[in-house]
Structure 1
Amino acid sequence: MKKTSMALAVLLALSACNTISGVGEDVSNGARTVQGWISG
């Protein structure tokens, strides 16, 4: 279940970005979100 949620979060982050620089920002935001889920 966690793997599916993480994959979905990554896909949503990547689908939301419009530029190459936006990819890095979206991936970073996705990573922070997943870290928040793991930390509690």
Structure 2
Amino acid sequence: MRKIVTLALIGSSLALVACNTVRGAANDLNSAANCTENTINGGRC
């Protein structure tokens, strides 16, 4: 039983870390896209 609980905690921790990483990558891509669009339209980043 103890091993199952340990594995569940480790698995949920890894899932939370992966979720935050993907969310951060999406924010970075969105920021780069906004910067590119502003530059094309004659603005600044």
TM-score range, shorter chain: 0.5 to 0.7
Give the TM-score taking structure 1 as reference length.
0.52
Q: Quick one: which of 5, 12, 17 aligns to 1:20?
A: 12
**Structural RMSD (CA):** 1.4
Unaligned runs of 5+ in 2: 1-9, 33-45
Give the TM-score taking structure 2 as reference length.
0.47
Compare CA radii of gyration and give the structure with the larger one: 2
Q: Quick one: which of 11, 18, 38 aligns to 2:30?
A: 38
After the TM superposition, list the runs of 4 or more consecutive aligned residues in structure 1 that deviate by more than 6 angstroms.
none
Identity over aligned pairs, percent? 9
Unaligned runs of 5+ in 1: 1-17
The one-letter code matched in structure 1 to 2:19 is V
Q: How many residues align?
A: 23
